[in-house]
Structure 1
C-alpha cells in the first residue's frame, strides 16, 4: 500500500480485494487496533489495522478535497524569520 502522509480516520476509503470500503470505526483491543469497514452494500467487517495497512490487497483512495501541488494559486504564506 502507498500513501504515506495521508490522513487515516473515519471516512477514509480503501480498495480492498476489488471492492471499495470505508473506515467507519476504530476499535481498541488488548491485542491491538482494529477498524470496522463498510462496503457498498452496507455490510460491516472488522480487521486489524496492521493487516489493512500492510496488505497487498489494500489500496488507499486519496481524498482529493485538500490543496494540491497542481493548484493555480500559492496557498502557503512564506516563512519570515
Structure 2
C-alpha cells in the first residue's frame, strides 16, 4: 500500500525498483537532501530524496497506521519549519 502521507525517516522501508530497501541515514548536501539505503545482501546506495520519491519509482512500506492527512494538528516538522530565524536560533 502506498500512502502520500507516510513519514520517511531512519528505518523506513521502501520497495524501490523491485527491491526492499531501508533508510539508514540522511545527508543534507548543497545539491539537496539525500538518503543512504541498505538493500539485499547489505548493499548500500545513496540517492536524492527527489529521485527516490519520483512517481512510480518507490513505494513506502508503512510500519503502522501513522498520522493521517485528515488530522487537524500539524506535525512537528511543519511547525518547526514555520519558525523565524530568530526563533530557530533560540532552539540551538
Query: What TM-score, normalized to structure 1?
Result: 0.72
Bigger proportion of residues as helix = 2
CA distance in 2, matches of 1:49, 1:20: 16
Aligned to 1:44: 44
Aligned to 1:28: 28
SS in 2 for 1:51: helix
How many residues get paired? 66
Aligned to 2:8: 8
- Aligned CA RMSD, in angstroms, stands at 1.8
Structure 1 residues not aligned, in runs of 5+: 68-81
Q: How many Å apart are 1:25 and its aligned residue?
A: 0.3
CA distance in 1, matches of 2:16, 2:52: 9
Structure 2 residues not aligned, in runs of 5+: 68-92
Bigger proportion of residues as strand = 1
Runs of 4+ in 1 over 3 A off after TM superposition: none
Instruction: Look at both structures and tell me which one has the larger radius of gyration over its CA atoms.
Output: 1
Q: How many Å apart are 1:53 and its aligned residue?
A: 1.2
CA distance in 2, matches of 1:25, 1:46: 9
Aligned to 2:90: none
